[in-house]
């Protein structure tokens, strides 16, 4: 992550997702905080100030993005030399469009989505059935046919295979 913040050594604009989510963590890691200590540091007012101070070092070089399709396009158009991005979007750009992008996993942050059934939901049993269906091993493997995101369950790994028909790119290489 330190290289991401070093525009003198690695010139060019940087793409960052618009918002604090993960950017504060990235900034602290780039500032020398060990990954295991990030949330302890971030839990303090001084830690938040430290993260923003580090972000300030590249403020003039940031291109903010809001949608997942933007980072690969920013790279392809030469608007940025580095960007944060969703790994599945980068895989699709490499495997599906032949882009010469490379993922650097240093400082990665795992992000996830959740299913929630509100207390008192009138269709709780149907919601539980949907969640069981949507998260069974085969459905999770099927999702990888459309976008390369890490498995929610390790049982999917032996079913996912290669995403590209000619076998040239192994989608597992793009999982965290």
pLDDT in tens, 31-40: 999 999 999 9
For the chain, the residue count is 176
Q: Is residue 150 within 8 Å of 163, Cβ to Cβ? A: no
The CATH number of 2-97 is 3.40.190.10
Confidence of residue 114 (pLDDT cuts 50, 70, 90): confident
Nearest alpha-carbon partner for 30 in 82, 89, 91, 71? 82
Where do the CATH 3.40.190.10 domains begin and end in the chain?
Answer: 2-97
Please give the average per-residue pLDDT across 88-97, as a whole number: 87
For residue 64, the cross-strand partners are 16
- 166 has a pLDDT exceeding 60: no
Q: Are 176 and 111 in contact (CB under 8 A)?
A: no
Backbone phi and psi for residue 158, each to the nearest 5 degrees, phi listed first = -80, -5
Residue 10 or 150, more confident: 10
Q: Residue 82 phi/psi, 5° resolution?
A: -145, 150
């Amino acid at each position: 992550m330190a290289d991401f913040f070093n525009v003198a050594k690695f010139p060019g604009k940087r793409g960052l997702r618009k918002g604090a989510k993960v950017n504060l963590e990235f900034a602290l890691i780039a500032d020398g905080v060990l990954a295991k200590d990030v949330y302890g540091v971030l839990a303090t007012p001084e830690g938040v100030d430290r993260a923003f101070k580090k972000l300030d070092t590249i403020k003039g070089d940031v291109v903010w993005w809001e949608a997942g399709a933007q980072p690969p396009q920013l790279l392809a158009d030469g608007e940025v030399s580095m960007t944060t991005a969703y790994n599945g979007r980068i895989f699709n750009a490499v495997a599906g469009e032949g882009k010469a992008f490379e993922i650097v996993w240093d400082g990665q942050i795992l992000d996830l989505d959740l299913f929630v059934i509100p207390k008192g939901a009138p269709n709780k049993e149907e919601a539980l059935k949907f969640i069981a269906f949507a998260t069974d091993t085969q459905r999770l493997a099927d999702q990888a046919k459309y976008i390369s995101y890490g498995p929610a369950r390790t049982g999917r790994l032996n079913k996912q295979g290669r995403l590209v028909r000619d076998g040239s790119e192994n989608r597992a290489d793009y999982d965290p």
